[in-house]
Amino acid sequence: MKREGKQQVWKDYQKEIADNDYYFQRSCIRQNFFPGSEYAFLKILREELGKNIYDDARQTTCTGIGYHSDIIPFETIQTVVARHFALMTEKGFRNFVISCVTSFGIYSEIFETWKEFPEELEKTRYYLKKATGREFELPENMTHASDIIYKFREEIFAKRKHSLVNAATGEPLKIVEHIGCHYAKIFPRKGVGGAEFPQVLSGMIESWGGEVVDYPERRHCCGFGFRHYLVMADRGYSVANSRKKFESMEPYKPDAIICNCPGCTMFMDKWQYVIAETDKKTYGANGNGIPVLTYEELAGLILGYDPWDLGLQMHQVDSEPLLDKMGISYDPDLKYTGSNGEKMGAPMQPQFIH
C-alpha cells in the first residue's frame, strides 16, 4: 500500500476546524457507555490546551436514533437541532462541536438541507419561536469532537506521558481505526481525509507513535445501523457485521481498536463478548478480546490520565493488555472503586473472553 497515495487524498479533504471558543454538544449514549470520554475531552481542551469550551446542561438528545428509526418526523428533529443552535447563540458562541457521530450526521444533513431548501430553515425558525420563543444563528464552524483532537494531536503529544509504542519492544503498537459511517460517508467533504481513507483517527495514531492497521474490511459498518439492533429479530445482522470486521483484522494482530462514534465503540466492544459466548471465539492474544477505546480515552492515556478515571473499567473487553503494552501503571484494586472511594462492585467475569 502506498502511503503517498493516501496523503494525496488527505490533501484533498482538509476542513476548517475552529481554533477556540467552542459550544459543546454532548452525546446521549456516550455518557452511559463511555462516561469518561466526554469528561476527558473537556479536561484536555480546558486544562491541557487552554481552550474555552461551554458545556450546557440545558441540552437534550438530538433525537437522531428516533429519526433514523422513523419515529421522529423531520420537522421535529430540525426544531430540536434549531433549539441547540439557539442555546449556542444565547451563550455567544459560533463554533459548534458535536460529540456523537450520529448527531454530527444529523446536524450536517440539516445544515445542508437548509442551504438547499431555505424554506425549511424559515419553517424551522417559525416552529422554534412558536414552541420556545427562541431564535438562533447558524454556527460559523461545525465540527466533530474528533476533528478537534485531530487538530491538536501534536500539542497533545508534546505533553505525553506515554505513546503508542510497545514499552517492552520499542515497536509501534498496531491500531485499528474505525470511523462512524455518518462522520464522512454522507458528506465526504465534512470529514478530515474524506470517506474512503479518513485521516481523522489515523492522523492521531501516527502522531502518537502507533501504526495504523489498514485491513480489508476497514470501511465496513460496525453493524450499529439503528434498526439492526433496535429490532431484536435483526440483531444477528448487527453482530455479523462486527464479526466480519474482527475476522478481517485478526491476521494483523491489532493491539487496540479506536473509534470516533458512540455506536461503533459500543458494538465493537460488546459484540466481542457476544461472539465469544456464542462461538467461543476471541480475536486478541491469549483468549483476550481486542481492547476498544474512544479517541478521547486514548488521548487521555497518552497524557497520563488514570485509566479508571477515564472509565476504562466500563468497557466489556479489558483494556489492561493495552495498558501493559504502553507501560501504563494502574492499580487493579481501584478498577471498580468509585471516585468517592466506595466499591462499585465488580461485574461477573465472562467465561470465554477477558
Partner 1 sequence: MDTVVVIGAGVAGVEAASQLSGFGHEVILVEKNSYIGGKLAKWDHLFPSLRPASEILTSMEEKIKQGSFKILKNTEITDISRRNGRWILKTGKGISLEPDAVVIASGFGLFDAKRKEEYGYNIYNNVITSVDLEDKLKKGEKIRMTNGKTPRRIAFIHCVGSRDEKSGNHHCSKVCCITGVKQAIELRNLLPQAEIFCFYMDLRMYGKDFEELYREAQENYDVQFIRGRLSEASENMDESLLIKAEDTLSGRPLKMNVDLMILLIGMEAGEDTINLCKGFKLERDRSGFIKPKDIHIMRNFSSQEGVFLAGTCTCPMTIGDSIDNARAAAIEVHNYLKNKHLR
197 contacts partner 1 (rule: CB under 8 A): yes
112 contacts partner 1 (rule: CB under 8 A): no
1 contacts partner 1 (rule: CB under 8 A): yes
Can you say whether residue 260 is alpha, beta or left, with left for phi > 0 and alpha for psi between -120 and 50 degrees? alpha
| Closest by CA position to 144, among listed 114, 116, 86, 184 | 184
Total residues interacting with partner 1, rule: CB under 8 A: 19
In whole angstroms, give the CA distance from residue 100 to residue 60: 13
Nearer to partner 1, 220 or 354 (CB): 220
Q: Which helix (H) or strand (E) holds 23?
A: strand 22-25
8 contacts partner 1 (rule: CB under 8 A): yes
| Closest by CA position to 85, among listed 73, 74, 93, 77 | 93
- CA 253, 256, 262, 268 torsion: positive or negative? positive
In whole angstroms, give the CA distance from residue 207 to residue 188: 23
Q: Per this entry, what is the length of the chain?
A: 354
Nearer to partner 1, 182 or 315 (CB): 182
| Closest by CA position to 198, among listed 211, 210, 209, 212 | 212
Binding mask 235-264 for partner 1 (x = CB under 8 A): ----------------xx------------
Can you say whether residue 10 is alpha, beta or left, with left for phi > 0 and alpha for psi between -120 and 50 degrees? alpha
5 contacts partner 1 (rule: CB under 8 A): yes
189 contacts partner 1 (rule: CB under 8 A): no
187 contacts partner 1 (rule: CB under 8 A): no
194 contacts partner 1 (rule: CB under 8 A): yes
Q: Which segments of the chain are extended strands (E)?
A: 22-25, 53-55, 95-98, 141-144, 174-178, 211-213, 256-259, 292-294
190 contacts partner 1 (rule: CB under 8 A): no
3-state class (DSSP) for residue 305:
coil
Site for partner 1 in 86-105 (CB under 8 A): none
Stretch near partner 1 under the rule CB under 8 A, chosen from 28-36, 72-80, 110-118, 214-222: 214-222
CB 166: neighbour CB atoms within 10 A? 18
Q: How far is the CB of 215 from partner 1 (least distance, A)?
A: 8
214 contacts partner 1 (rule: CB under 8 A): yes
Site for partner 1 in 219-238 (CB under 8 A): 219
Q: How far is the CB of 245 from partner 1 (least distance, A)?
A: 12
Q: How far is the CB of 185 from partner 1 (least distance, A)?
A: 11
Q: How far is the CB of 6 from partner 1 (least distance, A)?
A: 6
| Contacting residues toward partner 1, per CB under 8 A | 1-2, 4-6, 8-9, 194-197, 214-219, 251-252
